[in-house]
Structure 1
Amino acid sequence: MPIDFEIGGVYLPPITQALLLAIPIFMVLDWGLRRLGVLRRVWHEALFEGALYACVCATLILLMGA
């Protein structure tokens, strides 16, 4: 079971931890997809990036629960 972390007197629940951890992972994936030219073939780039971030967050949440 994930635990709450305290940073400067502020408790971070597991969902916030997953959302913050997903940012650098998403940025690396986004950079890689841009370098490969995948995002040029996507119909709506912002929608694709939002879905990618949601997938990364969901994966981290599932991994944290295991």
Structure 2
Amino acid sequence: MPIDFEVGGVYLPPIAQALLLALPIFMALGWSLRRLGVLRFVWHEALFEGALYVCVCAVVILVMGASSP
């Protein structure tokens, strides 16, 4: 189970850690998809980006769970 962090007196549960860790990954992935022109084929860009962020968060949570002893 991932450990809990305390940053400046603020408690960060594992889900918040995963959400914060997924944000730069999502931003880099979104930037690369824009550069490659993949988002031109998407019907609703905001829905696609929301779903992409959820998928990235899920992968980060799975990796965090698999790496813990």
Structure 1: runs of 5 or more not aligned: none
Give the RMSD, CA atoms, in angstroms: 0.5
Question: How far does the alpha carbon of each residue in 1:6-55 deviate from its partner, in whole angstroms, 9 at most, with x for none?
Answer: 00111100000000011100000000000000001100000000000000
TM-score with structure 2 setting the length: 0.93
Q: Percent identity among equivalent residues?
A: 83
Q: Which residue of 1 aligns with 2:37?
A: 37
- Distance of 1:21 and 1:52 partners within structure 2: 14
- Please tell me the residue identity of whatever aligns with 2:7: I
TM-score (norm 1): 0.97
Runs of 4+ in structure 1 off by over 3 angstroms are: none
Structure 2 gaps, min length 5: none
